[in-house]
Amino acid sequence: MMRKDYKKLISFICMFILSISLLSTHTVKAETINDVIVETEDNLTLENEDISNEAELAANKEIVLFHTNDTHSRVDAFPKMKSYVNGFAGNSLLLDAGDTFHGQSFATLENGSSIAKILNAMGYAAMVPGNHDFNYGQDILRTLGGEANLPLLAVNVKKNGVVAYDDVVIKEVNGVKVGILGIATPETAYKTNPLNVVGLDFGTKESIIADAQAAVDALKTQGANVIVALSHLGIDPTSDVKATDIAEAVTGIDVMIDGHSHSTLDKYEEFNAAHKTKITSTGNYLESFGEVRISLDNENNVLDVKPGNVLTKNLTEEDAEIKGLIDGIKKGQEPILNEIVGETPIDLDGVRENVRSGHTNLGRLITSAMLDETGADIAITNGGGIRDSIKAGQITKGNVIAVLPFGNYIVTKNVTGQDIIDALNATMAKLNGGFPHFAGMNVLTEEYIDEAGKTRWRVVSIEVNGSPIDAEKMYTLATNDFMAAGGDNYTMFGNYPTLNEYSALDEALIKYISKVGAKGIIAIDSEVRLAEAELVEMEALKERLTEAIKAEFKVELIKYSEDKTLVVLTKDSERKEFLVNGALASAEAVLEEVNKELNGGDQVPPTDEPSVDVKPEDGTGNGSGAGSGSSNGNSSNSGSGTGTEPGKGNSTLPETGGTNPMVPAALGVIIILAGVVVLKKKNKTA
C-alpha cells in the first residue's frame, strides 16, 4: 500500500513541476518586455532581447521616442495617443516626421492653426516639414511652427544658401542628450504648388548627404548621446532621395524616424539588416504611432534601439484635455462651415447611384475645377469620391466639404493616351465607385454585358480638346492622390512619376465656384462629355425626329463636336440619346423642318439651360475604401478614407490574431487536471 502511495506522490510532484514550468514560461517572457506589448499592423509583438545579467539590466537606463508621420490632419486618435504617452512622462520625447498641418477641412479651414494648437498641447518636441506642410506657403509654415512651439528641422532647405528654418536641436531626457536633425524631401519643389516654395533650395542627393553628416558631427560635438534623424523622404524606389540612401551614407545616426511613403515598417530586423542605421515609420492617418525604445549604459552609451508601432484602435483611454481641445475646435469651425462661397441656380447632382453609373453636372464641375487648378490636358476623378449633392441656392464651405470630405489632393502625371483608354474601359460600369468623371475629353461609348453579367461600357472614340486621342502620345493628367496611386482599379496610373501636387479637391472646387459663378455652372451643366454611341446619318435624322415628336418626346440638340450632334429625347422618366453625323446647325435645320411639317412649328427646340432632375439622397453612408477612404480614406479617397478607396482608403481588412501566450499554459493545466481525474479513477478501480 505504501508503495502505491509513494508512486502517486511521485506522479503528483511531477505534474506540479510541469504545471509550474508551463506557467513560468509566460511570466519570464513578460519580464523580458520592458513595460508593454507593442504591436505592429501585422500583430507582431516586438520584444526586447533577453538580458541574462539582471544586475546589468538594473544598471541600464531607457528612454522612449514616440513619433507620428503623414497624419494629414487626422486628429481623432490623438486623445488615445496622449493617454498612452502620459505613462512615460519625464522619460520620453514626442516627434513628428511631416505632412501634418494640411489635409482635411479641420486643418484647411484655419490654414493649419488648428493642428498647431493640438501639437502644442500634445507636447511635441520637434518635427520635419513634409511637402504638404508647405501647402499654405513657406511663411505660414514658419508661423505654424511658432504656434506649435516646436522647431521645424530641415538641414537641406535653404534660401540664399542659408538654412531657411531650423537644422538641429538637442533635447535632454532622463539625463540623456538627444540630438535631432531634420531632412525634408527635395520632391517638395514639385509636390506642392511651386508658388509655395519660391526661392527655396531643397538640395541634391549629394548635398543632402553632406548636410546630414555635418549636422550629425555638430550634434556630437555639442555632447549629444543619441542621434535621431527626422526625415520626410520615404522608401519608395521612385523617390529622388530615400531614407535608405541616408542610412547607408551617413555615419553616426542611431535611428531614422521617417515619413512620406506612408510605410509601416513592421519587420524592423529584416528591413534594417542591410543598413547602418535603423529606419522606422508608422504608416499614415494616425492609425498607429511609433514607439522607439533606446537602452543606454550608465555613461549614456547606446546599447540597443528597438522600434515598434502601437495601433490606436487597440487603445481605449482618452486624455480629457486633448479630447476637449479637439471638440472645441470643431465647434468653433461651425461658423466657418456656414460661410457662403457661391451660388448655384440649379441642383448639383451627387446622388450615389448617379455618380457611380454616369456623368452628372457636379462631377463635371469638380473635374473642370481640377483642370483650372492645374492646367492639365485631362482631369479624371472617381464617382465614389463624390459624397453629396448641392441644392439650388447659396453654396457654403460645409456643402463643398460634404461633397468632398476626404481631404484628397490633386496630383498631375504624364500618361499615355493608351492608358487613358484602358482606364476608362476598366472603370465604366454601373454602380462602380471608380466610375470616371472627367474634363478635357469627349468620350463616346457602347454598352455591353461582361462575363459576370454586369452592364459595362467600352470606349468607341475619345476626343481630347477637339482632336482624336493619340494612343502613343503623352498627356498631362490631373487626378486625385488616391487614383494616382492606382486606387479604384486605375492601376495603370500608379507606375508613373508624379509631376506635381496641388491643393485639396474641396479647396480647388471652392475657388472655381467663386471664379465662374452661376453662369459658369449653367454652362457646365449643359455640356455633354460622355455619350453612348448610336451614330445615325443626317438623312435618317428626319425620320427619327418625326417619330419622337409624334410620341410627345421633348427634343434637345447639343453640340458634341464640330461635326457631331447629340440628340436627347425625354418623356417623363424615359430618356433616349443618339449621335448624328452632322453639325449642330444642320441638325437644328432638320428639327425646324420636322416641326413645320407636323404642327406648324409648335414644337420648339429647348433652351440652353435644361433643368436637372436630382433624386434625393437615400441617407445611407458609403465608404470608398485610399480615400481618395476612395480613406479616397479618397485616401476614398480607401478613406482619399474615401469611401472607394485605398483610400489608400480606406477600409481596414480583418486582422488575424497571433497565439495568446496564455493558451499553451492553460492547455497544460487542462491536461494535468485530466490526468489527475484518470489517476483517481484508476485508484478507485484498483
CATH, residue 489: 3.90.780.10
Q: What is the pLDDT of residues 324-360, one digit of tens each?
A: 999 999 999 999 899 999 999 999 999 888 998 889 9
Same domain, 573 and 505: no
- pLDDT of 684 strictly over 50: no
Contact 490, 426 (CB under 8 A): yes
Same domain, 232 and 91: yes
The pLDDT assigned to 612 comes to 33
Same domain, 301 and 246: yes
Domain end point (choices 574, 597, 620): 597
Q: What is the pLDDT of residues 377-406, one digit of tens each?
A: 999 999 989 988 999 999 999 999 989 988
In a domain, 659, yes or no: no
Which residues constitute the domain of residue 579?
534-597
- Residue whose C-alpha cell is 476623378: 381
Domain end point (choices 329, 350, 384): 329
Contact 372, 515 (CB under 8 A): yes
Nearest CA to 560 out of 538, 578, 542 is that of 578
The pLDDT assigned to 656 comes to 31
In a domain, 681, yes or no: no
Same domain, 222 and 352: no
Same domain, 459 and 577: no
- Report the alpha-carbon angle 101-107-112, nearest 5: 50
In a domain, 462, yes or no: yes
What is the share, in percent, of the chain residues with pLDDT greater than 90? 58
Same domain, 306 and 208: yes
In a domain, 673, yes or no: no
Same domain, 409 and 367: yes
Q: What is the pLDDT of residues 180-190, one digit of tens each?
A: 999 999 999 87
In a domain, 602, yes or no: no
Same domain, 358 and 325: no
Q: What is the pLDDT of residues 47-67, one digit of tens each?
A: 333 333 443 444 489 999 999
Same domain, 370 and 487: yes
Q: Please, what's the b/e burial string for 648-669 (b: 16 or more CB within 10 A of its CB; e: otherwise)? A: bbbbeeeeeeeeeeeeebeebe
Residues 541-559, mean pLDDT to the nearest whole number: 91
> Which residues contact residue 412 at a Cβ distance below 8 angstroms, ignoring those fewer than 6 apart?
374, 376, 476, 477, 478, 479, 498, 499, 500, 501, 502
Please state the domain count of the chain. 3
Higher confidence at residue 17 or residue 456? 456
Higher confidence at residue 240 or residue 107? 107
Same domain, 417 and 489: yes
Q: What is the pLDDT of residues 648-677, one digit of tens each?
A: 333 333 333 344 444 444 445 444 454 444
Q: What backbone torsions phi and psi does residue 558 show, to the nearest 5 degrees?
A: -130, 135
Q: Where are the alpha helices (DSSP H) in 404-504?
A: 417-427, 481-484, 491-494
Q: What element of type H or E holds 478? A: strand 474-480
Contact 407, 392 (CB under 8 A): no
Q: What is the pLDDT of residues 573-626, one digit of tens each?
A: 677 778 888 899 999 999 999 999 887 655 444 444 433 332 223 333 333 333
CATH, residue 113: 3.60.21.10
Higher confidence at residue 405 or residue 260? 260
In a domain, 18, yes or no: no
Q: Residue 280: what residue type?
A: T
Strands 162-163 and 61-68: unpaired
The pLDDT assigned to 201 comes to 97
Same domain, 312 and 449: no
Q: What is the pLDDT of residues 2-29, one digit of tens each?
A: 444 555 555 555 555 555 444 443 333 3
- Name the least confident of 17-26, 105-114, 271-280, 314-323: 17-26
What is the share, in percent, of the chain residues with pLDDT greater than 70? 77
In a domain, 6, yes or no: no
Same domain, 274 and 362: no
Contact 204, 156 (CB under 8 A): no
Categorize the per-residue pLDDT at 269 as very low, low, confident or very high, splitting at 50, 70 and 90: low
Domain end point (choices 491, 507, 528): 528
- pLDDT of 461 strictly over 90: no
In a domain, 22, yes or no: no
Cα–Cα distance between 474 and 479 in angstroms, integer?
15
Q: What is the pLDDT of residues 198-239, one digit of tens each?
A: 999 999 999 999 999 999 999 999 999 999 999 999 998 878
Contact 118, 173 (CB under 8 A): no
The pLDDT assigned to 451 comes to 80
- pLDDT of 100 strictly over 60: yes
Please state, rounded to an integer, the average pLDDT across all residues of the chain: 81
Contact 191, 185 (CB under 8 A): yes
- Name the least confident of 94-98, 114-118, 304-308: 304-308
